[in-house]
Amino acid sequence: MAANDARRSVLEMTEALYAAGETLVVGTEGPTGDAIASAVAVAGQYAPNVLDLWAVGQDGRLLASSFPDTARHYDPSEDPCVAGFFDPPGPVGIEADTLDPFVIVTVPLPPTRSGDGVRLCGRFSFDLHCGLLSLQRELAPFGVLYLTSADGWITWDSSDEFNPTNSSRDLAERRPTATGGRWMDQYTLPSGTDALAAFASITRPGWGVLVEVPIPAALAGLEELKWQAVGLGAILALILIIASALTAESVASHLRQVATAANRIACGAFGEIVTASGSAEIRELATVFNRMSLALRDSYGRLEERIVERTAALQRSEKLTSLLLDAIEQRVVVVERNGAIVKANRAALAAYGQEIVGRRYVDVFEKGTELPATHPIRQAFDRCAPRVDERSHRAGRPEILQVETYPVLRHGTTVESVVEIARVITAEKQIQAEHVHHERMAAFGLLAAGVAHEIGNPLAAIQSQLRLASSSDDPQRTRQTLEIVDKEVARITRLLRELVDFSRRRRDEVALISVNDVVADVARLLHHDPRARGVRIDQAPRAELPGVRVKEDRVVQVLLNLGINALDAMPDGGVLTFETAVDSGDVLVRIRDNGSGIAAELQERVFEPFFSTKGPEQGTGLGLFVSRKIVHDELGGRLDLERSDRQGTTFTVRLPVAPGHADAQEMRS
C-alpha cells in the first residue's frame, strides 16, 4: 500500500511537469516569466503540491524561473536539477536538507519548443512524507519505513526524519540490494534483533518502499491484542453468564411454578393450571401442561365413574357367585398358594366347621401335617392338572367323598389358587358295593352250579355203580364197580382240592400279583361251568410278564365276568382265548371269543348300567358296568371294548405295571 501511494504521488508530479512543458514556449533567450507562471498553473492542475518551476539550459544556465529572485541567487553547482542530469533523463530526487523536505523532478522539453538540452525542473512539497508516516503509524507502529532510490540507496526513513546518513550503508548490511519486484523476508538487524521485512518497487521512477518490523515489537502488539481479546472475551463471558443466570432464573421460576402445580396434581388436585408467561417455549410448556392437567381431570372423573360402576358390578357378581355356591350341595373350598382356605360355601362350612376360612388346609383336613407331593392340591399347584379322587371324612359319622380339584390360572400361566369340590358318595359307594357283591355272588353262584354239576356227574356214576353192585352177586362185577367208584371219588376229591386251594389264598388285600397266574385260575374255574361244553379255553401268556399291585380278588371277578359273558356268546361252542401282553408300561389282558358279536349300534351302550343283550333270565345288565368301575376306581386301569363283529368280540383289561417289578412269575413262591 505504501509503494502504491508513493508511486501515485511521483506519477502525479511527473505528469504535472510534462503538462507544464507542453504549454511552455522557449525562445532564444529562454522562456518568459509569464510563460513560467502559466506553466505553474497547468502543473497545479495535475499536482497541487507544486512549489516552483524553472528551466535550465544544457550548459546549466538558468533560463527562466517562477520566482524572480531565483536568478540573483542562482548557483548552478547547487542546483539539484543540474546535478541530476543523467541518462536516461527524468530523474526524481528528494531534497532533505531543510526541515520541510521536498521533491525535485526534472523532465526534458521537446526540441521544437526549446531547443536541444533544455530541461524543466519542478519543486514539489513532500506530501508523500506525511502519508508514509501516517501509514507507518497505522500499519507498523513498532517498525521503520524506508523509501529507496532506483539504485538501492535509502533516500528517506521514518526514524531519521529525512536524515539518510549511513542509511544506505545500513540497508546494504541488511540486504545487498533493495531493488526490483516485491519480496518478504526475515533477517537479523545490526542491533541483533530479528525482524520481518517487506519490499515493494515503484515502477516508473524506480523507487521502492521497505518496511522493517522487529519481531519482539510485533509480538508485543499481538500480546496486547491477545490481552485485549482476553479482556473482551471475559467481558462477553460475564455478560453471557449474567444473561444466562437471568434467563435460567426466569426459566427456573416458571419451572418451579409448573413443578408446584404438578405436585398438587400428584396429591389429587386434578385440573390445576399455571400462568402462560415468559418466552415462547415457556408459554408453550405452560399451555401443554394446562391441557394435560385438564385432560387428567376429565380422565380421572371418567375413571372414578367406571370404578364405581365396576365395583358395583363386582359386588353383584360376588354376591351372585356366593348365592350360586351356597345353592349347590357340593362342598366348595378355595385354597391359595400359601395353603390358606380363603373361601368356602355354605355346605362346606356346615360340614367342616364355620371357622375354616383363614385356616390352613392341612390343619383342617390333614391334621397339621404337610401335604405330600402326590396330594391333589399339590398336584394342581405344581402341575396345573385337575384331579378326581376319593377321600374319607369323619364328621360325626364316616363319609366317602369324591373330591375334584381344579387349578385357577392367573394371566393364563400361573396357578393362583385351587378350587376343591367335594361330593358325598357314601350311598353310591354302598350301592356300588352291593352291586359288586351281587355280581360276585352271581358269578360264584354260576361257578357253584358248575361245580355242583361237576360233582353231580361222578356222584351219579357212583350211585349207579353201587346199585348195580348191590343187585349182583358176581365178585368180578363188584370189583369193577369198586374201581369205577374209586376213580369217580378221586375225580371229586381233585375238584374239591382245587376249590379249596383257590379259596385259601387271600385275595381281598392289595398285593403284588402275576396276571398270568390269575388268568390260569380263571380258566380252570370256567372249565367247570356247564356253558363251557363245546368251548375250548386257550391261554396265550406272555413270558416274563411284569407284576401289578392290586387286589387279586377284583381281577378274578372282572376276568371271570368277562369269561362268562364270552361263554354266553358261544352257545354252540367255540374258542375262548385269554392273552396277556405289555403295552406302554401297562399289562394287557385280552379276552377274545368267536361268537356272534355285538351289533354296531349297541356297542356304545355295553358299559351302561342295566343294559344287556341277553334275555332277562340270564343277567341283571350290571356285569360290564360293575367290571368297568372296578377296573377304573379300584385297580387304576381301564376296560375297553376293543372290537366286535361277526367273527367275535375282544375286550381289553389294561392294568398299570407295579414300579420296580419287571417280573412276577415267581411271586407266589
Percentage of the chain lying above the pLDDT 70 cut: 64
Q: What is the pLDDT of residue 669?
A: 39
Greater confidence (460 vs 668) lies with 460
> In this structure, which amino acid lies at residue 586?
D
Please state the φ and ψ torsions of residue 104, each to the nearest 5 degrees.
-105, 125
Greater confidence (109 vs 385) lies with 385
CATH superfamily of 2-128: PAS domain (3.30.450.20)
Please report which confidence band the pLDDT of residue 648 belongs to, taking 50, 70 and 90 as the band edges: very high
For residue 96, pLDDT beyond 80: no
Using one digit for the tens of pLDDT, what is the confidence trace for 588-647? 999 999 988 888 888 888 888 777 777 655 666 677 888 888 898 888 899 999 998 888
In a 3-state reduction of DSSP, which class is residue 653? strand
Q: What is the pLDDT of residue 443?
A: 60
Of 601, 640, 636, whose CA–CA distance to 624 is shortest? Answer: 640
- Give the length of the chain: 669
The answer as to CATH 3.30.450.20 being correct for domain 329-423 is: yes
Note if the bond before 541 is cis, omega within 30 degrees. no
Q: Is the Cβ–Cβ distance between 577 and 512 less than 8 Å? A: no
Using one digit for the tens of pLDDT, what is the confidence trace for 404-417? 888 988 777 788 89
Beta bridge partners of 623: none
**3-state DSSP helix/strand/coil percent for the chain, to nearest 5?**
50, 25, 30
Tell which CATH architecture fits domain 508-669: 2-Layer Sandwich (3.30)
Question: What are the grid coordinates assigned to 61, written together?
Answer: 544556465
Greater confidence (85 vs 387) lies with 387
Q: Order of strands across the sheet with 638-645?
A: 535-540, 574-583, 586-593, 648-656, 638-645
In a 3-state reduction of DSSP, which class is residue 312? helix
Q: What is the pLDDT of residue 41?
A: 64
What would the mean pLDDT of 82-101 be, rounded to a whole number? 51
- Lowest mean pLDDT segment, chosen from 19-33, 494-508, 595-609, 634-648: 19-33
Compute CA 643 distance to the chain's CA centroid, rounded to the nearest angstrom.
57
- Lowest mean pLDDT segment, chosen from 26-40, 87-101, 483-497: 87-101
> Would you say the C-alpha torsion 209, 215, 216, 219 has a positive or negative sign?
positive
Q: Where are the domains of the chain?
A: 2-128, 329-423, 425-504, 508-669
Note whether 2-128 and 329-423 share their fold.
yes
The answer as to CATH 3.30.450.90 being correct for domain 425-504 is: no
Q: What string of DSSP letters covers 474-511?
A: -HHHHHHHHHHHHHHHHHHHHHHHHHHHHHHS--SSEE
Look up the pTM and report it: 0.38
Q: Is the Cβ–Cβ distance between 177 and 154 less than 8 Å? A: no
Please report which confidence band the pLDDT of residue 87 belongs to, taking 50, 70 and 90 as the band edges: very low
Burial bucket for residue 646 (CB in 10 Å: 0-12, 13-18, 19+): exposed
Compute CA 569 distance to the chain's CA centroid, rounded to the nearest angstrom.
71
CA distances (Å), 151 to each of 147, 167, 180, 208, in order?
12, 13, 10, 10
What would the mean pLDDT of 287-292 be, rounded to a whole number? 78
Q: What string of DSSP letters covers 203-258?
A: TTT--EEEEEEEHHHHHHHHHHHHHHHHHHHHHHHHHHHHHHHHHHHHHHHHHHHH
